[in-house]
Structure 1
Amino acid sequence: MSHFHWNGDAFTDGQVIDTVTPRHAKSIVNDPAHRAEPAWNPDEHPNAWRAVWAYSAKRARHDQKTLYAQETRARAVISGERAAKSTRFVTTRAGDRVLDEASLARAQSLVGLKGYVTTIPATMMPAAEVIAKHHNLWHVERSFRMPKSDLRARPMFHRTHEAIEAHLTIVFTALAIAHNVQDRSGLAIAKVIKNLRPLRSATIAINGTSQTFPPEIPAAQQQILNALSIPKPGH
């Protein structure tokens, strides 16, 4: 990146750099003679992707701690203090294990940075929005985990197309309801179920007459019901 050529490893907390990255190691897509980072364009940079880099001081502290532990482990492997395994920053030269100084230096230069690769041009989505969209991917990942666990989408024992389609329709309907419950209550669906499942009403029938007794609802559970706009029994 031109940033490294002109500024070295200097970054400010929250800094965002929008640049291009080559798809192949032999491709050259950035001219360090120009101080400004190039704006990725699919027509002008067919051998590159758009790369958005974000720097965080908090991430830098965590990365530095991780790198120190990895370097210590690598030196222990080289000295024979630890068993020889596939260890980062350890390379073989002339039959001997040595510290990969170049890889370590490169890792040090990237401390605190996180990259987001995309093919969406800046004219369509600013760098800050690229980062925000990536951060929202956890919603999608959570949705994939939810059908397999909380909604019991698997195992599926159906064999006909209609039965499989009906099963998945029920699962995705439940998924939509679960997301609505989570958004309104502010709790994970598993926690909502755990809190509300013990609530039971009882109906007693004697001599042709019956009476229903509502459950005693603790304050925490009532707060969830209020968030879901579920009225109290008998109202």
Structure 2
Amino acid sequence: MAYVRTVRTGSGATAVQIVHGSRRGARDIEHLGSARDEQAIEALKAVARRRLAGGQGELELGLDPETVTTVGSGPLQIVSTRMAPLWDALCTAYDQLGFDDAVAGDEVFRQLVLARIIEPTSKQDSLRVLAEAGVDAISYATLKRRLQSYADDAWRAKLAAACATHAGLGPASLVLYDVSTLYFEADAGDGFREPGFSKERRLEPQITIGLLTDASGFPLMVEAFEGNRAETTTMVPTITAFMAAHHLADVTIVADAGMISDGNMKAIEAAGLTFILGAKTPDIPYVVTEWRRKNPDEPVPDKLILIQPRPAGPSDKRRDQVVYYQYTADRARRTLHGIDEQIAKAEKAVDGKIPVKRNRFIKLVDAKKSVNRALETKARTLAGWKGYITNLPEPTPEFVIGAYHRLFQIEKSFRMSKHDLAARPIYHHKRASIEAHLTIVFAALAVSRLVEDRTGWSIRRFVRTARRYRTVQINAAGQLLTAEDPIPEDLQEALTRIHRRERAH
């Protein structure tokens, strides 16, 4: 036994289904599609009745007899199919960021950016992604011709301006800065792609990427540098260029201790900028030593903060600074566990039980090996402590430490760009094409962050879920009808949040 039924979907459309039942009560539901207008619904019902009749009889669509042509026994023709929920949502996010206005309606750039979010692949293969999405894509010749424009500094500056406007940056806004590297499977450097320091310990040529974001991790600017350029020399040029482009008198820079050199500190001060930086602690700070002297037998309280002012001297060309040292029990536990493991390995290496490997607690004097107990004592004393230095006038410890901890947001953006958007320019070799590729990845990252902020979903989950639902146009008896898959409630709510104009963070 089988019959046709209609069901109201969460999006307000009407779904047409064939229900196959049995005497035992089991049911199998065949979904034919959904539509919003009466004619399309009647067309789907006609398809359902035709299937139940085994292809016999005429297909009655309830259309004007003068417009009806003989359909025959064949299936209805699908004129077009597209990932409407996904593509329309990404287009909305792209437009709300102001990118369409920034690039003067360049449709090629829009298609490359959104295709990268749907499925990161080569520029040539992105045409296949666009076709699967139901988008009338440009030709590959047009793509290659337009790609050169996206490498221009002026083009990227327009996108950065749109991002700054969206982020609502103003004087003394917090901006996060960090760097990463992208490697190339090449044998030798070429002046831009060069071997350099790699956190992944890779030996191939690479480039250095500097990313500037707001406090939430929303991207503001990306810059590419030579792969052998020191990370500490990339921060000031990126930030000063960004401030000049957007006429910002001051911003507060937040960066990790590894990004800071004496030259950076002086350059930041010379530019009149404020900062919150991770403080390097090569020695035990005076305030920690004093606290321990006054409390020799007490355990350090969790979340204890000690303050060490660094006033500027008469000859110092800087503002007054202050360093906050915070102790956390969890950080101490993890650090001490690591020290215990390294000391155990150092002792075995000194005793000749295992080969000598890289270990900071092994001291070599001529050919004699020993465990560096002085360094061990210092490391155990510093376990659990973290320093934060700032030149802000009279900040609270909570503000300084909280701002520094926002750096995980820029790390999230780097992870998204490297993994979800496949930022590594595998298919590019010339600097101009690499720069163009990074511009596209930067714009895709901004759109992705907006989608994540609005929906609370990861971009990977949103794309994977939304791409399954399509809008289909059907030629029924010479009339063009539109049908769509019913959208589940959770996805419909996510789509609604994206299409709202208010900013969600």
* Paired residues of 2:362 and 2:369 also in contact (CA < 8 A): yes
SS of the residue aligned with 2:310? Answer: coil
1:54 equivalenced with 2:339 (yes/no):
no
1:26-41 alignment runs, 5 A limit: 39-41=309-311
Equivalent position to 2:486, from 216, 219, 231? 216
State the shift of 1:201 in Å: 2.3
State the shift of 1:125 in Å: 3.1
1:6-21 alignment runs, 5 A limit: 6-8=291-293, 10-19=299-308
Of 90-99 and 68-77, the range deviating more from structure 2 = 90-99
Measure the CA separation in 2 of the matches of 1:123 and 1:221: 46
* Paired residues of 1:41 and 1:121 also in contact (CA < 8 A): no
Go from structure 1 to structure 2 and tell me whether the alpha carbon gap of 1:108 and 1:168 turns closer, same or farther (over 3 Å shift): closer
1:34-92 deviation per Cα after TM superposition (whole angstroms, max 9, x unaligned): xxxxx222336949974322111111111221111111111111111211112121112
Go from structure 1 to structure 2 and tell me whether the alpha carbon gap of 1:200 and 1:44 turns closer, same or farther (over 3 Å shift): farther
1:202 equivalenced with 2:202 (yes/no):
no
Which residue of 2 is the match for residue 64 of structure 1? Answer: 336
Measure the CA separation in 2 of the matches of 1:166 and 1:88: 42
Which residue of 2 is the match for residue 43 of structure 1? Answer: 313
1:3 equivalenced with 2:278 (yes/no):
no
Which residue of 2 is the match for residue 128 of structure 1? Answer: 398
Measure the CA separation in 1 of the matches of 2:392 and 2:431: 46
Of 221-230 and 93-102, the range deviating more from structure 2 = 221-230
Higher relative strand content: 2
Measure the CA separation in 1 of the matches of 2:364 and 2:449: 52
SS of the residue aligned with 1:228? Answer: helix
Higher-Rg structure is 2
Give the aligned residue type for 1:55: Y
Measure the CA separation in 1 of the matches of 2:450 and 2:428: 28
Which residue of 2 is the match for residue 82 of structure 1? Answer: 354
Measure the CA separation in 2 of the matches of 1:138 and 1:6: 30
Give the aligned residue type for 1:87: N
1:123-148 deviation per Cα after TM superposition (whole angstroms, max 9, x unaligned): 25333222112111222333344445
Go from structure 1 to structure 2 and tell me whether the alpha carbon gap of 1:167 and 1:80 turns closer, same or farther (over 3 Å shift): closer
Which residue of 2 is the match for residue 23 of structure 1? Answer: none
* Paired residues of 2:421 and 2:445 also in contact (CA < 8 A): yes
| TM-score where L is the length of structure 2 | 0.36
1:137 equivalenced with 2:422 (yes/no):
no
Give the RMSD, CA atoms, in angstroms: 3.4
| TM-score where L is the length of structure 1 | 0.72
Give the aligned residue type for 1:194: R
Of 92-101 and 166-175, the range deviating more from structure 2 = 166-175
Measure the CA separation in 2 of the matches of 1:124 and 1:52: 12
Equivalent position to 1:185, from 437, 440, 455? 455
Measure the CA separation in 2 of the matches of 1:172 and 1:54: 35
State the shift of 1:103 in Å: 0.5
Go from structure 1 to structure 2 and tell me whether the alpha carbon gap of 1:164 and 1:105 turns closer, same or farther (over 3 Å shift): closer
Go from structure 1 to structure 2 and tell me whether the alpha carbon gap of 1:69 and 1:154 turns closer, same or farther (over 3 Å shift): closer
* Paired residues of 1:40 and 1:122 also in contact (CA < 8 A): no
Go from structure 1 to structure 2 and tell me whether the alpha carbon gap of 1:44 and 1:61 turns closer, same or farther (over 3 Å shift): farther
Give the aligned residue type for 1:89: F
State the shift of 1:94 in Å: 5.5
**5+ residue gaps, structure 1:** 20-38, 231-235
Measure the CA separation in 2 of the matches of 1:45 and 1:112: 35
Measure the CA separation in 1 of the matches of 2:462 and 2:311: 47
State the shift of 1:150 in Å: 3.6
* Paired residues of 1:40 and 1:121 also in contact (CA < 8 A): no
Go from structure 1 to structure 2 and tell me whether the alpha carbon gap of 1:61 and 1:226 turns closer, same or farther (over 3 Å shift): same
* Paired residues of 1:150 and 1:190 also in contact (CA < 8 A): yes
